[in-house]
Amino acid sequence: MKKLNGTLLIAALVFVLGVVQAFGVDGLGTREWLLVAAGTLLGFGAGAWQAKAVSLARKGRISRRLRTLQVISSFAALFALKALIASLIPSQLNQGGPAVFLQVFFTVFGLLLARGVAKRAVENQRAAR
């Protein structure tokens, strides 16, 4: 069995922190958990976008500037979508305090998970050659 790469290990740590934080937030209903899951999926999408940009830059198919632009634009798209969702769907998560950290932990978890999975896939491809 292969060991976890650093990105997946940090993703697992952030997930555990998110679960611990969830125990400190009272009154989370189905709507709130669906919003947290949506944030995790948005984070995963942004992480996959970033991983693709990094992979293409390492292969020499895009420039470093374009890679940087894609990474920054993925963060911008992530924050814009999170803000849009927060303004359109009222929930307890918009009240601030521990609920904001809960959203951040799970969004970062999704982002790091996608980056770690992509990194592991690249490592497996290199090992197969």
Q: Looking at residue 67, what is its pLDDT?
A: 96
Q: Which pLDDT does position 100 carry in this prediction?
A: 87
Burial annotation 12-31 (CB, 10 A radius, 16+ → b, else e): eebbebbeebbeebeebeee
> How many angstroms separate the CA atoms of 4 and 13, rounded?
12
Q: Which amino acid is at 109?
A: F
**Domain spans, the chain:** 44-122
Q: Give the pLDDT confidence score for residue 2 in this predicted structure.
A: 66
Q: What are the Cα distances from residue 117, in Å, to 13, 24, 84, 89?
A: 15, 29, 28, 31
Helices (H) and strands (E) in the chain, counts: 4, 0
Question: Which two structure tokens, joined as six digits, stand for 22?
Answer: 């969830």
3-state secondary structure of 25: coil
What pLDDT score does 44 carry? 97
| Tens digits of pLDDT across the chain (129 residues) | 567 788 999 999 999 999 999 988 888 889 999 999 999 999 999 999 999 999 999 999 999 999 999 999 999 999 999 999 988 988 888 887 888 899 999 999 999 999 999 988 888 887 887
Burial (Cβ within 10 Å: 0-12, 13-18, ≥19) of residue 63: exposed
